[in-house]
Structure 1
Amino acid sequence: MKRFGSTLAFFIGFLLPSFAYGWEIASFETRVAIHRNATATVTETIVADFDGESRHGLFRDIPIHYTDRAGQHFRLRLRVTSVTDQAGRPWPYRLESAGRYQRVRIGDPDRYITGEQTYRIVYQVERGAIRFFPDHDECYWNLTGNEWAVPMRQVHAEISLPAAAKQLRAIAFIGPYGSTEQLQQIRTTSTQVILDPPRPLGSYEGLTAVVGWEKGLVHSPSPAQVFSWWIRDNWVYGIPLAILGFMTWLWWVRGRDPQTGESIVVQYEPPDGLTPAEMGTLLDYKAGLQDVTATLIDLAVRGYLTIEVASTRWWNRDYRFTRRKDFWDDPALALHERKMLKGIFGSGNAAGYDTRLLSELEMKFYDTFAEVRSSIYDALIAKKYFDGDPNTIRTLYLLGAAGVGVGVWILLMLYRTSRGESVFLPEFIAAGLSWLAMTLFAVVMPRRTLKGAKILNKVIGLREFLYRADQDRVRRMNDPSLFERCLAYAMVFGVAHQWARAFEGLYTQPPTWYVGDWQTFSPTQLSHDLTRATSSMGQTFTSAPRS
């Protein structure tokens, strides 16, 4: 009874599509001739029975877009050479893109046909019919396609090799896409594989064969040919390469610093009266958090405030800032330094705070932080060290990078859609790489002027001195204030610990501008304490309330 039910269900599934569509495929014959140059000639003879309705013709969808095991897109290279009837008379046809398929639309739009009609489609497969492995080659081919909504009453297929094979192996699968049902009716000779399914194929069922043979029977494509195919299949990667080339050219003419022709000479003092924040910004184009916090240390060294550890609990370490003198009208201060002090103490005279805790500035200093950074940029532009605001230039290029990435994606999507093709992984990658190319250059597009490039050499010279200083050299310099005077500069350069080690045993008394909780004092202990302090300051200065 179960066998009867299964048989009945099969025949109902087979007959329903033909009733629904009014036609069916009486026979489908495929002959694949493999050539020594790894190409193949495919001849498909389709006999369509339009007995139930009048039609203009039919269309054959051949899958041509694939993704390999590495996730790379590749395109089957095929060329339709003829479409004829059983007598060799040509049928009118046109080729269309239909997603991942090459569609062969056959028939005259001004003419209706009925009854049995024969369509013989011949096409050359230039790439994709043969797959090459280290120990063998094989032909993996869908002989009928799985896109037919109507059934096929009879299917026959032949695959021919260019010469006799010693190790010819074949396996075939029948059924819907992904089916593991193996075809048993396979005959092989030394040069040919013949497949005859014992049953009709239902709608959306197909026949796929895998035929393998020993190496050498078919010539493998050369590396140059494989690379050429890859370029043609993945031409979208040329877009980010073109953008990378354009950005390289643009950087060369618009972003590259002028050449000074001067050598870097070690400097023992900050050049041109630059503050630590200005020097750090000149070095990397960024007025960063480290530059701002080092400014506070420099102001403390210069006597404008003291910094004291107010709480030593590791989970809640706090600092007390105490104003030591008025600052608002002090001509010795740069604008960003005055704004820094004003953000902490308010007015720079008796009307302001004398003492503030770092914790009191939480969620309140972020506007001042932005103003301080802006003032640093303005000062360097006013001194003609930068050819424009580096932060603005970076922002414009970052916005441009986002626009280019989105634009490339939209254009590629529209291009694929207009051709009836699907969007594949390379389009995503091309858009992402286009964005990345511009984003990377956004960092280096700010440019120093010739004056700025010359000062930069001196900045690098000072950094070299602070990094490589040793006790013998600083002892010979005999300058008691040298350590404190250059400490904030060493901090913006990231060499504070190296600078402190050079003064071990020479700088023995704790500073008056910083009161720590140490039991024994040393320059390296001070350096570690200041690193911890500026880290806490940075977190507080940039904290902002949630919107």
Structure 2
Amino acid sequence: SSDTRSGLQTYVLTYQVEGTLNAIRGEDGVQDQDELYLNAFADSPNQVDEVTVRITGPADVVDYACYRGPEGSTDSCGTEEPEGNQVTFTGTDYTSRDGLTIMAAFPPGAFTDTDPILEEITGDGPSERQPGPLQRASDFVMENWALLAGVWAALLAAIAGTRIAFGRDETYEGVAPGEVPLEGQPHRVVRLGREPVVAPRFTPPDGLSPGEAEVIEDESVTPEAFTATMIDLAVRGYLTIEPSGTDSRGNTNDWTIAEAVNPPSRDLLKDHEQHLIQALLSGTSSVQLGSFDGRFAPRLREFNQILTKHSDSEGWFRRTGLVGSPPARGFGTFIGWAVFLAYQGVWVAVFAILILNGAGALGLLPALFAAAVAIASLTTVLVLTRRAAHGRTAKGRALYEQLRGFRHYLTTAEAHQLRWEAGADIYSKYLPWALVFGVADRWTSLFEQLAAEGRYTPSTRWYDGGSAGDFRARVRSMGAATSGLNTTGMSALRYTAGSGGGSGSRSSR
């Protein structure tokens, strides 16, 4: 309309309502009368500052009453002023969910037609006088929210407890921690109770690579798995690493990875190690990590998938797939998406109902909000317990115990306690493992001290950086390269969306 108004406006709506009169006849304790009993408004979703209802009839008013509040309330609405054939009800400060019901009675026969109007309800839907199932659910939530919250919290606690209890690692009964029964030796697999005492181990588990160790340790493929594998391959003579770029503060921010001269046969490598060399070099003799410009992300995902499949085939965990990985058979990913879509669906329904039904639909919000809270809290519990529910098999636990022992050695050994191996550079050899265990800086500082004392000469075979004559500075440079490759270097390789394979957190169970 082109007719517009501004300022305070008063709107007068005139309408006719039929069938609101009741003929009261022959009821005990109530005199015969014609009664008007009407909800002026019911459970309004809005606040009402002031309301006045005036009833005018064909005869003097013989009885009157008014009530405010939710359904069933007997609280007075406010002021009641009868005068002859009129009665005026006045109330103020009605909050949301308050209703106003008025009653005015007149002498019997004051009205000519007080018969009820009956209409058959067609279809399966609720009538205007009967709330639908969603409204009834919403009312139930409003009336019992404290009880429902307590029951739901108990249910969530039961779900979390069940996932944690059934997700405990397995172990071989009667076999020392870290040991695997010999072939043919009778054994029984049971759930692990309390954590066994760590038995220090001075060498890594036989036949296990640092990348595989990271999977068993963290139950996922983290950036440390890739970096540790790359450094391990360099230490073993397959690759060389050289700093090739610095930032404005002089810190190394790029590295050149090259194929080593006269490397050992690649036939000795495992699948994920083969893939790493092929993914990095791709037929060339050397490459700068920064040159990938995000194009390495698909190759990194494939590296993660190879380790995940290898974990499944080795049977290290009771479930297929790893925490945070998207294997095709991983049920956790399906659950996560299902819960997420259900949560979004609830809020889509909220907005759709509001748009289609207006403010009257606000009464449905308690049920919809409760559904959203239930879905969100269930998702949170599933996410927080996903690692606890991903238990190791007895075989995986035995390897994990060996890793615990070796981690204890690298974490606690002092310079004078190191076990030297004849002809071996144990700093370089165990540096990838120190990275996996999160103690690379500590491991480096030990050998900085030894180099300063003239008791250690760092290798020049796999790393070309630092001062050639200053052994301590060279060790420090090797340690900095390890940290930098795991942060700046990995960022250059995996920054495109979806290229990660899990978090880099440290955990054990």
**Which TM class, normalised by the smaller chain length?**
0.5 to 0.7
1:306–1:421 CA distance, 2 compared to 1 (3 A): same
Say whether the 8 Å CA contact 2:279–2:299 is kept in structure 1: yes
TM-score normalized by structure 1?
0.58
Provide the residue aligned with 1:223 in structure 2.
none
Counterpart of 1:307 in 2: which secondary structure? strand
| Residues 1:507 and 1:362: Cα distance change in structure 2 (over 3 Å) | farther
2:395 to 432, 436, 451: 451
Q: Secondary structure at the match of 1:268?
A: coil
Question: Does residue 486 of structure 2 align to residue 534 of structure 1?
Answer: yes
In the TM superposition, 1:120-519 aligns within 5 A as: 120=65, 143=77, 154-155=88-89, 174=92, 232-237=144-149, 238-239=151-152, 241-253=154-166, 255-260=167-172, 262=177, 263=196, 264-314=198-248, 317-324=253-260, 330-346=266-282, 352-387=283-318, 388-390=320-322, 391=325, 392=327, 393=330, 394-403=332-341, 405-406=343-344, 421-424=363-366, 427-474=371-418, 480-503=424-447, 504-505=449-450, 506-518=455-467
Paired residue secondary structure (2:411): helix
Q: Aligned in 2, Cα 1:326/1:479: closer, same or farther, shift over 3 Å?
A: closer
Structure with more strand by fraction? 1
Output the amino acid matched with 1:513.
W
Partner deviation per Cα, 1:486-527 (whole Å, 9 max, x = no partner): 110110111111122232223333532112245844234421
Q: Which secondary structure state, in structure 2, belongs to the residue aligned with residue 272 of structure 1?
A: coil
Task: Give distance in 1, aligned partners of 2:253 and 2:362.
Answer: 64
- Corresponding residue for 1:204? none
Equivalent residue letter for 2:376 = G
Shift of 1:128: 11
Change (3 A) 1:431 1:413: farther
Determine helix, strand or coil for the equivalent of 1:270.
coil
**Structure 1: distance between partners of 2:208 and 2:489:** 23
Question: Cα gap change, 1:175/1:121 in structure 2, threshold over 3 Å: closer, same or farther?
Answer: closer
Offset of residue 279 of structure 1: 0.5
Please give the alpha-carbon distance, in whole angstroms, between the structure 2 residues aligned to 1:462 and 1:127. Answer: 71
Residues 1:314 and 1:323: Cα distance change in structure 2 (over 3 Å):
farther
**Structure 2 CA distance for aligned equivalents of residues 250 and 501 of structure 1:** 41
Matched, 1:56 2:48: no
Is the contact between residue 227 and residue 485 of structure 2 (CA under 8 Å) also seen in structure 1? no
Output the amino acid matched with 2:77. L
The answer as to 2:7 corresponding to 1:21 is no
Query: Which sections of structure 2, spanning at least 5 residues, go unmatched?
Result: 1-6, 23-28, 47-55, 80-85, 97-140, 178-195, 500-509
- Cα deviation, 1:181-202, whole Å, max 9, x if unaligned, reads xxxxxxxxxxxxxxxxxxxxxx
The CA distance in 2 between the partners of 1:252 and 1:419, in whole Å, is 43
Kindly tell me: are residues 232 and 495 of structure 1, through their superposed partners in 2, closer, same or farther at Cα, counting changes over 3 Å? same
Residues of 1 paired with 2:161 and 2:205: CA distance? 32
Asked if 1 retains the 8 angstrom alpha-carbon contact of 2:254 and 2:489, the reply is no
CA distance in 2, matches of 1:260, 1:382: 20
SS in 1 for 2:244: strand
Question: Structure 1 residues 415, 468: CA separation in 2 closer, same or farther (over 3 Å shift)?
Answer: farther
Q: Give distance in 2, aligned partners of 1:524 and 1:90.
A: 96
Q: 1:293 is paired with a residue of what secondary structure?
A: helix
**Cα-to-partner distance string for 1:128-181 (whole Å, 9 max, x where unaligned):** 99xxxxxxxxxxx88359xxxxxx973478xxxxxxxxxxxxxxxx57879xxx
Give the AA of the match of 2:365: V
2:321 corresponds to which letter in structure 1?
D
When residues 293 and 121 of structure 1 are mapped into structure 2, their CA distance, relative to the original with a 3 A threshold, is same
Assess, with a 3 A threshold, how the Cα gap between structure 1 residues 474 and 405 changes in structure 2: closer, same or farther.
same
Q: Rate the CA distance shift 1:155–1:489 in 2: closer, same or farther, 3 A.
A: same
Aligned equivalents of 1:501, 1:92: Cα separation in 2: 88
Unaligned runs of 5+ in 1: 1-8, 23-52, 59-83, 102-112, 130-140, 146-151, 158-173, 179-228, 347-351
Distance of aligned partners of 1:384 and 1:241 in 2 relative to their CA distance in 1, 3 Å threshold: same
Question: Secondary structure at 1:306's aligned position in 2?
Answer: strand
Alignment of 1:24-39 (within 5 A): none
Deviation of the 1:236 alpha carbon: 4.5
Counterpart-to-counterpart distance in 2, 1:455 and 1:537: 29
Q: 1:355 to 1:268 in 2, by over 3 A?
A: same
Note if contact 1:344-1:361 (Cα within 8 Å) is conserved in structure 2: no
Q: Distance in 2 between matches of 1:322 and 1:498?
A: 27
Moved more, 362-371 or 513-522: 513-522
Instruction: Give the 3 Å change call, closer, same or farther, for CA 239–314 of structure 1 in structure 2.
Output: same
Tell me the secondary structure at the aligned position of residue 266 of structure 2.
Answer: coil
Letter of the 1:354 partner, please give it.
S
Match of 2:3 in 1: none
**Aligned pair in 2 of structure 1 residues 516, 441: CA closer, same or farther (>3 Å)?**
same
Distance in 2 (CA, whole Å) between partners of 1:502 and 1:231 is 66
Task: Find the aligned partners of 2:394 and 2:349 in 1 and give their Cα distance.
Answer: 41
SS in structure 2 at match of 1:356: strand
Relative distance call for 1:512 and 1:377 in structure 2 (3 A) is: same
* 8 Å CA contact 2:66, 2:89 repeated in 1: no
TM value normalised by structure 2: 0.62
Aligned residues: 380
Contact map agreement 1:240 1:437 (CA 8 A) in 2? no
Distance 1:408 1:268 in 2: 56
Secondary structure of 1:421's aligned partner: helix
Aligned counterparts of 2:407 and 2:387: Cα–Cα separation in 1: 22
Q: Does the CA contact (< 8 Å) of 2:223 and 2:486 recur in 1?
A: no
Shift of 1:402: 2.2
Name the SS of the counterpart of 1:321 in structure 2: strand
Whole-angstrom distance in 1 between the partners of 2:164 and 2:268: 37
Q: Deviations for 1:203-261, whole angstroms, at most 9, x for unmatched residues?
A: xxxxxxxxxxxxxxxxxxxxxxxxxx9992344534364244224324423x2211456
Cα distance in 1 for partners of 2:431, 2:247 equals 26
1:309 CA drift (Å): 0.9
Alpha-carbon distance in 2 for matches of 1:501, 1:119:
91
Q: Within 1, Cα distance between the matches of 2:34 and 2:87?
A: 25
Kept in 1, the 8 Å contact 2:66–2:76? The answer is no
**What letter is aligned with 1:540?**
A
RMSD: 4.7
Aligned-pair CA distance for 1:371: 1.0
